[in-house]
Amino acid sequence: MPLLLDVRDLVTRFRTDGATVHAVNGISFTLDEGESMGIVGESGSGKSVSMMSLMGLIGDPPGRIESGQALYRGRDLLRLSAAELRQVRGKEIAMIFQDPMTSLNPVLPVGLQMTEMIGLHLRLGPKAAKAHAIEMFERVGLPRARERLGDFPFQFSGGQRQRIMIAMALSCGPNLLIADEPTTALDVTIQAQIVDLIQGLQRELGMAVIWISHNLGLVAGVVDKVAVMYGGHIVEQAPVDALFERPRHPYTRGLLQAMPRLEGRDAARLVPIDGSPPDLREHPVTCAFAPRCVHAVERCREALPPLSGPTASQVARCWRADEMDAVRTQELA
């Protein structure tokens, strides 16, 4: 039985008048049926561009997928025609964006937007599509779903709009849901509700989920494994418990140290990562994190390290990855 998703050496560039932006630089990862994966990193690290590349949402120009494969159940998404990709997108693979106001059409009622998509992918008539839309709105906890089909996006709160986007994404029973920072613009209480909602629907529908976030704390309790991105590269991949207990890349360690803690000797103490993210107009031929890394040595500034590790499921792109355990032991002493 093939993997649900097998991404191999994906490269995406954006060409402007003045330079080429190297947004995604040969990332690879796999996802099994029903599995949860987190993709984390700072803004501009390539998280969203990677997923939009898979979904065929990169505008050409200026963007272009230059190489790689994205095998969805054995079919390469990057080689599908526009018509074939539209059949996959929304029906088999769905995506929730962080700002629903940029995803929902502001001049069309939400019910119409929902029923049009249902009718397209599930081949249902108007009456059946409306009934299915109401059922999905009720499933995600939208109050007075039947009465509000004729309302416009601006008439809903931020949390309600996000629930509408989740209902639309799940209305066709996708095998894979990509959640691109779906809680960023919401308050903490609503964030927890949205996360619980997606997790519950994942268990109910048996779908796989990719969570995109800059917040390691968010993904800690909801995913099976994590990929950490920096400068367009995946710099570390590991099962979630292993990543938190024994991070092998200094950037991952920096992200963990920057997380707020409520107890212990480091409670309420945040350790920032000094410096700034790399300029993606420069093609990375060495470790992009070296200028910010307190553990960098001369070799880090001379060549790009490969992804390697003790097992195939726990790898890091760092020349000194094997030494990080000793560094952690010294810090805890």
Whichever domain contains 142, its CATH number is 3.40.50.300
Domain annotation covers residue 150: yes
333 — pLDDT class (breaks 50, 70, 90):
very low
Domain annotation covers residue 230: no
Tell me the three state secondary structure of residue 96.
strand
Listed in order, strand segments (DSSP E) in 233-312 are 233-239, 308-311
Residue 5 has pLDDT above 70, yes or no: yes
| Weakest-pLDDT range from 21-30, 159-168, 180-189, 316-325 | 180-189
Domain annotation covers residue 321: no
Q: Over range 183-202, report the average pLDDT.
A: 82
Domain annotation covers residue 170: yes
Could you list the residue range(s) of the whole structural domain that residue 175 is in?
Answer: 90-223
Percentage, residues of the chain above pLDDT 90: 53
Tell me the three state secondary structure of residue 88.
helix
Mean pLDDT of all residues in the chain?
Answer: 88
How many domains is the chain partitioned into structurally? 1
* φ/ψ of residue 184, rounded to 5: -55, -45
C-alpha closest to that of 172 among 97, 73, 57, 95 = 95
Domain annotation covers residue 121: yes
The single residue listed with the structure tokens 């969570």 is: 211
Domain annotation covers residue 327: no
Domain annotation covers residue 109: yes
Domain annotation covers residue 203: yes
> Which of 28-42, 171-185, 204-218, 279-293 ranks highest by mean pLDDT?
28-42
Tell whether pTM > 0.85: yes
Which residue intervals of the chain are DSSP H helices? 47-54, 82-88, 110-122, 126-139, 158-170, 188-205, 216-220, 240-245, 250-257, 324-332
Residue 241 has pLDDT above 90, yes or no: yes
